[in-house]
Amino acid sequence: MNTVVFPPAAVAPPQSLVAPSGHYNFGTYTGSIPTINPLDAAGTGKFVGARRRVRNLGLKEWEAFQLGDDRHFVLGAVYNAKALGLLQVLIVDKQAATIKRFETKLPSNLLDVARGLDGTVSSGEFAGLKIEIGNDLSGHDGSDGVLTVDATQRGTALRPEMGLHITGAADRAGHLVIVHPFDDTRALYSHKAMMPAAGSIVIDGERLGLADDRGFLILDDHHGDYPRPMKYDWVTGIRRREDGVVEGFNLTDNQICNPGVFNENAIWIGDQVHRLPAVTVTRPEGPWGKWFIRDEAGAVDVTFTPTVRSTQHVGPRKALAEYYAPYGWYEGTIEAENASLKVDGVFGVGEQKRISV
C-alpha cells in the first residue's frame, strides 16, 4: 500500500477572494471569506468593463443545500448557469426510494446568487416556486450565526403544494472554504459547511419532517470559472448521530490543478473538518450501478449504491449537458490524518456532470 499524503492544513481566510492586485487568493481556509469578488480578477485597463462582463458570463454560480433527518433527504439550489437559471427542491424518502420534484428553469436574470455569506440572500421565484436562502454565518446582526432555507410551491391540479422552512445552526458548523486553481487566472471558490438544523417540510398539508433533534443541513456555496466543458464527479453524505453530533463527508474529482494539494475532500465530525487526499470515482456498471470512490493509498474506501434516479440532460444526444444525480446509500471507511469515519448506512447524493454551455 502506498503511503497516504494528506494535503496541507487549512488556514485562516483572506479578506477577499481576489486580491487588489487582481490575483486570486489561492488556498484552503477554515472560515468565510468576507468579500467574494470574482469579477475583480478580470484585470484593469481600457476594456475592464467588457472583461468583467465576459468573466461574469463564464461563471457558474449556485448556492445549494442538502438537508434532512433519519427519513428524508432534500437537495435544493438557486443555480445560475448564465445561459439559464434553475430553481430546485428534490425531496427523497430514503426507505421508500421515492422522489418528489419541485423545480423550474427560468431566465437567469430572474434569480440572484449571493456573493458573500454575511447578511445576504440567494433567491428566485418563477412558475409558482420560490426559494430564499438567508446567509448570516457570522451573526452580523448580533445573533448567533444561522443559515435559513425557505421554499414554497404553489399547488395546482398537477403539482402539490409544498412548504419547506429550515434553520441551520451555522455557529455549530465546521467550514471548508476553497479557492483552487483551474489555471493561474481561473479559480473555483466553494464554501461547504455541515450543521445541525430544525424546521419543517410540508407537502399538501402532510408534515414530512424534520424530526425533533434529528435534522441536519449542508451549505454548498459555489462560484467557478470552469474550463469548457465543465465536468466533475462528486459524492456527499451526512447523518446525525444519536448524541446529536452531525457527521458527513464530501469527495470530489474535478478539473483543479494539483489535486494532491488543492481538493475539497474532507470529513466532518461536529464542528471539526479533516482534509483528505485526492480521489477518483469509477462506475463499472454506469451511473445507476455501484460507484467506487478511492484514493491511491486506501485512506478513502467508499462504495455508493444508488436507489433513486435523477437526471438533467440538455440538447440533442445530451450535447449541451449530461448530468446524472442519483441518491442512495454509502458503505466503507474514510481515514483522515487525525480522525476516521465509518460511512455504512449513510445516505446521500452523487453527481456525474458534464456541461458545455
Number of other residues whose CB lies within 10 A of the CB of residue 89:
22
pLDDT at 140 over 70: no
Percent of the chain whose pLDDT exceeds 70: 95
pLDDT of 320 above 80? no
Q: Report whether pLDDT(114) > 80.
A: yes
141 pLDDT tier (thresholds 50, 70, 90): low
**What pLDDT is recorded for position 139?**
67
Q: What is the pLDDT of residue 285?
A: 97
Whether residue 343 is contained in a domain is answered as yes
At residue 148, does pLDDT exceed 80?
yes
Residues of the domain holding 159:
27-355
Asked if residue 13 belongs to a domain, the reply is: no
**From residue 144, how far is each of 12, 168, 171, 229 by CA, in Å?**
20, 11, 6, 40
Q: Does 4 fall in a domain?
A: no
Give the total number of structural domains in the chain: 1
The pLDDT of residue 45 is above 60: no
Model confidence band, residue 318 (pLDDT cutoffs 50, 70, 90):
low
Q: What is the pLDDT of residue 247?
A: 98
- The answer to the question of residue 7 being in a domain is no
Q: What distance in Å separates the CA atoms of residue 139 and residue 241, rounded to the nearest whole number? A: 26
Cα 221-58-232 angle, rounded to 5 deg: 60
φ and ψ at 262, to 5 degrees? Answer: -105, 100
Q: Which one has a higher pLDDT value, 224 or 83?
A: 224
Residue type, 83: A
Place of cell 451511473: 287
- Domain assignment present for 167: yes
Percentage with pLDDT > 90 across the chain: 85
Question: Is residue 285 domain-resident?
Answer: yes
* Contact assessment for residue 321 and residue 315, using Cβ atoms and an 8 Å cutoff: yes
Residue 19 belongs to a domain: no
Residue 18 located in a structural domain: no
